[in-house]
Amino acid sequence: MDSLLMIDKWPVPTAAAAVVLRDGTLAGARGPQQHAFPLASVTKPLSAFAVLVAVEEGAVELDQPAGPEGSTVRHLLAHTSGLAFDEHRQMAAPGTRRLYSNAGFDVLADTVEKATGIPFPQYAAEAVFQPLGMADTRIDPASKSPAGAGGVSTAADLARFAAELQAPRVLHASTLAEATTVAFPGLDGVLPGFGHQRPNDWGLGFDLRDHKAPHWMGRNSAPTAFGHFGQAGTFLWVDPVAGAACVALTDRDFGTWAAELWPPFTDAVLRELAG
């Protein structure tokens, strides 16, 4: 795909990208596909997927209490538990505000660990990474927020995850559909790096494109598109209308450069996919 050549001009030391079609076909790839990149918050969809596997296995339930009083697993996945960004301090009543929270994902990991008796990084590996053949993906237990931002992966591995997000085998399709529709609709909140959004729609671990502006996806991304970006200069999106997903990983922290370059890159990919 010619659009992927755009990453060669990004002001980053190393970049890798891949586009995966709905049937799992790799439509294009650019850059070192086996290079391991810190994911930062692109870890969250991986962790959320592992939590959802635990739900399907019956180890935990979406509406069981977890976190602050009145909060549930569902609240934590949807960033509506009321927990602060990086500390276990309650800032709002559960279900009243969209407060993006690494701390909430720490609580999710603890909840799954207690329910299964398996350390969360190991559980994620056994439940998600190994079944999908993501041999070079791991969650670093020594990171500040392992389940929220401690992932390390490659473009090749995340392409496998992107294929799963379009045609799930590890999860039931209905579970993924619930995770990628709005949870607790109508809540406002801040999308990190892009300011206040009204509303700030999220699914269960996934940022939903909807009609947010500004946003890290493209102007022409479908409202139903979903995914995540990370402060390590990384992103993954799935666009159901385009029938494709895109992964881009870099080794430069997110900043103005990314906010300016990612949306036109996404739009170029979508144009090429449309023919």
The enclosing domain of 92 has a CATH number of: 3.40.710.10
Note whether 21 and 159 are within 8 A (CB).
Answer: no
Per-residue model confidence (pLDDT) at position 47: 98
As a whole number, mean pLDDT of residues 37-64 equals: 98
Q: What's the whole-number mean pLDDT along residues 165-184?
A: 98
Domain range for 24:
2-274
Q: What is the pLDDT of residue 175?
A: 98
Q: Render pLDDT for 116-151 as a digit per residue (tens, 0 to 9).
A: 999 999 999 999 999 999 999 999 999 999 999 999
- Mean pLDDT value of segment 184-196: 96
**pTM given for the model:** 0.97
Do the Cβ atoms of 77 and 53 come closer than 8 Å? Answer: no
Query: Percentage of the chain surpassing pLDDT 70?
Result: 100
In this prediction, residue 38 carries a pLDDT of 98
The rounded percent of the chain whose pLDDT value lies above 90 is: 100
Distance of alpha carbon 216 from alpha carbon 209, whole angstroms: 9
Q: For position 76, what pLDDT does the model report?
A: 98
CB 247 within 8 A of CB 159: yes
Q: What total number of domains does the chain contain?
A: 1
pLDDT value of residue 91: 97
Distances (CA, A) of 16 to 70, 203, 205, 263, 269: 42, 27, 24, 16, 14
Task: Output the pLDDT for position 26.
Answer: 98
